[in-house]
Amino acid sequence: MKVGMMSFAHMHAYSYANALLKLPNVELVGIFDDDVARGRNAAEQFKTKHYDHQAAFLAQEMDAVIICSENNRHKEMVVNAARAKKHILCEKPIATTIEDAEEMIRVCEDNQVVLQIAFPVRFSEPIQQVKRLIDDGDLGEIIAFRSTNRGQNPSGWFIDKAQSGGGAVLDHTVHMVDIMRWYIGKEITEVHAIVDSFFHQIDIDDAGILTLEFENGVIASHDASWSRFSQYPIWGDATLEVIGTKQTIKVDAFKEHFRMYSDGNPSLNYVFYGNDMDFGLIQDFIECIEQKREPSITGYDGLKALEVALAAYSSSKGGGDS
C-alpha cells in the first residue's frame, strides 16, 4: 500500500511516519509540506520525496494520505485529498468549525473514500481493557465519568487561534470525549464549562473544567489543560475514572512507566513501557483500507467530539450551558 503524508506541522506526524515504516506492506511514497525546509527535512529523515505543491503531490499514485497540518487547514487538505480519491487519516480535531467538519464528511462520502480521525488513545491497551470490562458488564450500569487530559503547552501555531481554532480545551477535550462516547455509545446533550488562561501569559485558553451530561443521564467531569511545566518528567496524562453500579475503575493511558533517577538534568525521568498508541492507530487505518471496512473512528466521531469542545467555549463565554 502506498501512503503519503500531508504537512508535518503537528508533532504526531513524526510518530505516524515511523509507524508507517514499521509496517512491511506499506510504502511512504511522499511528503507534501509547503513549509519547504520542514518538508525537506522530514523527507530526508524518512527517506522519501518532498513535494511543495498539493496538486503535484496528490497526482501521484497512492492509496491514502495522513494529514497533520495546522487545524484550520484540515478542511482544505481533506477536501483536496478526497477529490483525488485518496483515503484519509486526519489529525484531531477534525476541524475548527462544525460547518467545515460536516463538509469534510460529505465530500469524503461523495468520493467514496475513508475518513478516519486520529484519536490514538483508543489504542491504549489499558483504555481497551476498560472497554472490554464495560462491554462484559463487569462494572454494571455506568453512572458517571471523571476524566483529565493535562499536558504541556505545545506553543507555536497551537496558541494562535486563527490556526488552531482553540487552546487546551479544544486540544485536550476531543480525546476524552471520544473515549467516553466509545465506552457507552451515547451522545452528550449538555455542556457546562469554565475556560480561561491560568498557567501562561497567552491570548488563548490553557485550561478548562467541563461538566457533561449524556442523553441517558450519565454525568461526567473533564479537566483539560496545558498545566504541565516544561521540565515535568512526563508529557502529561489522559485519565478516566469510570463509576459503575458494581465497581469503579481508574485508568491512565500514560501510566505505564517507571521512574529513572540519574545525575543528569533533569534528575528524574519517566520511561514509558506501554504499547505504542500511535502505531495502533496507523495499523488500524491501514487495515480498514485493506479490508474495505468502515474506519474504527469515523468523521462523525470527530464531529461529535468537536461539538462538545466548541460548546464548552460557548458555555464559558455565555456563563451558562450549551
Task: Note whether 97 and 156 are same-domain residues.
Answer: no
Give the domain-ending residue among 113, 131, 166: 113
Task: Note whether 28 and 95 are same-domain residues.
Answer: yes
Q: Around Cβ 270, how many Cβ atoms within 10 Å?
A: 15
Q: Is the pLDDT of residue 294 over 60?
A: yes
Per-residue pLDDT of 256-268, as tens digits, reads: 767 787 887 777 7
Residue 272 in any domain: the answer is no
Residue 133 in any domain: the answer is no
Q: How far is CA 218 from CA 124, 129, 195, 212, 272, in A?
A: 23, 21, 22, 8, 33
Q: What is the mean pLDDT of residues 176-196?
A: 98
Query: What gap in Å lies between CA 47 and CA 205, rounded to an integer?
Result: 38
Pairing of strands 87-91, 257-261: unpaired
Task: Note whether 72 and 212 are same-domain residues.
Answer: no
Task: Note whether 311 and 170 are same-domain residues.
Answer: yes
Residue 245 in any domain: the answer is yes
Task: Note whether 230 and 144 are same-domain residues.
Answer: yes
Half-sphere exposure of residue 266, counting CA atoms within 13 Å on the CB side?
12
Residue 294 in any domain: the answer is no
Provide the b/e sequence for 192-225 (b: ≥16 CB within 10 Å).
Answer: bbebebeebebebbbbbbbbbebeeebebebbbb
Pairing of strands 87-91, 115-118: parallel
231 with 154: CB under 8 angstroms? no
Domain count, the chain: 2
Residue 70 in any domain: the answer is yes
Helix (H, G, I), strand (E, B) or coil at 314: helix
Task: Note whether 229 and 308 are same-domain residues.
Answer: yes
Give the domain-ending residue among 97, 113, 129: 113
Task: Note whether 164 and 15 are same-domain residues.
Answer: no
Query: What gap in Å lies between CA 32 and CA 13, rounded to an integer?
Result: 12
Residue 270 in any domain: the answer is no
Q: Around Cβ 267, how many Cβ atoms within 10 Å?
A: 10
Average pLDDT, the chain: 95
Find, among 242, 219, 235, the residue nearest to 269 by Cα. 235
Cell of 244: 459503575
Residue 122 in any domain: the answer is no
67 with 89: CB under 8 angstroms? yes
Task: Note whether 155 and 250 are same-domain residues.
Answer: yes
Q: Is the pLDDT of residue 308 over 90?
A: yes
Query: Angle at the Cα of 178 (from 159 to 67), degrees rounded to 5?
Result: 55
Return the percentage of the chain with pLDDT > 90, whole number: 88
Query: What gap in Å lies between CA 301 and CA 181, rounded to an integer?
Result: 9
CATH of the domain at 23: 3.40.50.720
Q: Is the pLDDT of residue 216 over 60?
A: yes
Whether omega before 295 lies within 30 degrees of 0, making that bond cis, reads: no
307 with 176: CB under 8 angstroms? no
Give the pLDDT confidence score for residue 322 in this predicted structure.
61
Task: Note whether 169 and 313 are same-domain residues.
Answer: yes
Give the domain-ending residue among 113, 128, 163: 113
Task: Note whether 166 and 98 are same-domain residues.
Answer: no
In angstroms and rounded to an integer, the radius of gyration of the C-alpha atoms of the chain is 19
CATH of the domain at 193: 3.30.360.10
Task: Note whether 144 and 244 are same-domain residues.
Answer: yes
Task: Kindly report whether the global pTM for this prediction surpasses the value 0.85.
Answer: yes
Residue 126 in any domain: the answer is no
Contacts of 15 (CB under 8 A, 6+ apart): 276, 278, 279
* CA-CA-CA-CA torsion sign (93, 249, 207, 219): positive
Query: What gap in Å lies between CA 301 and CA 282, rounded to an integer?
Result: 17
- Which residues form the domain of 176? 140-256+303-318
Task: Note whether 52 and 174 are same-domain residues.
Answer: no
Alpha helices per DSSP H over the chain: 12-22, 36-45, 54-58, 74-83, 98-110, 125-135, 161-164, 168-184, 277-290, 299-318
Per-residue pLDDT of 145-182, as tens digits, reads: 999 999 999 999 999 999 999 999 999 999 999 999 99
